[in-house]
Amino acid sequence: MSIEQQTVRRAGMPLLGDPFPEMKVDTTHGPINLPGDMKGSWFVLFSHPGDFTPVCTTEFHAFAKRAAEFDELGVKLIGHSIDQVQSHIKWVEWINDNLNVKVPFPVIADSMGGVAIRLGAVHPGKGSNTVRSVYIIDPEGILRLMLYYPQEVGRSVDEILRAVKALQVSDKNKVAMPEGWPKNELFGDDVILPPPSDETVAMERKKKLGDGCLDWWFCHKKL
């Protein structure tokens, strides 16, 4: 059965809020057990269509340049594609030597496509190449965010970094994050308060209109 046929028939693709599927993967840094070896740490797994391709190379360059910023947030990076480990090693070597950056994170070698199929990262209409998918997993191994880009459009690594920061701030403070946070056009770096839990809280918020509340259901504040 081809990768495309297996993809069409796949079942159990993880959804937001699900535990990340357990799997043992081979990488450029040796075997890794996911999510077990990452327990206690956030991690971002990102798939790319193929090694030695121009758009993917620009993405790896961006991830490598921002690796220290992810590290400061306690986030580990893991690349992935349906390529052999020797191809990954040679491609990473080329990036290191020619683009003036060091790729510090492991890259999963998935030549049989098993990881891609389990994560829904192969589109049957696009052959066996993985799409540009991103999975953000929290320290408990829970899938918190997924992004999918077509092969023709490169990702914004800054947006992925922003999304991780937003998730961490949201978890820590039990708040929601507005569009574009921390540079929202309405509220800047303010956060959004959760909806009121009952009528009493709603009426209390109505008394604060103009002081952080546009209405009882729409309130923001500084952290």
**Candidate list 25, 38, 56, 82, residue with the active-site label:** 56
Half-sphere exposure for 69 (CA within 13 Å, toward CB): 14
End-to-end CA distance of the chain: 53
Catalytic annotation on 56?
Answer: yes
3-state secondary structure of 47: strand
Query: Residue with structure tokens 């829904």?
Result: 120
CA distances to 2, 37, 57 from 92, rounded to whole Å, are 28, 23, 9
3-state secondary structure of 168: helix
Instruction: Give me the sign of the Cα torsion angle 166, 44, 105, 51.
Output: negative
Per-residue buried b or exposed e for 24-49, using 16+ beta carbons within 10 Å of the residue's own CB: ebbbbeeebebbeebeeebbbbbbbb
* Residues counted in the chain: 223
One-letter amino acid for residue 23 of the chain? M
- Catalytic site positions: 56
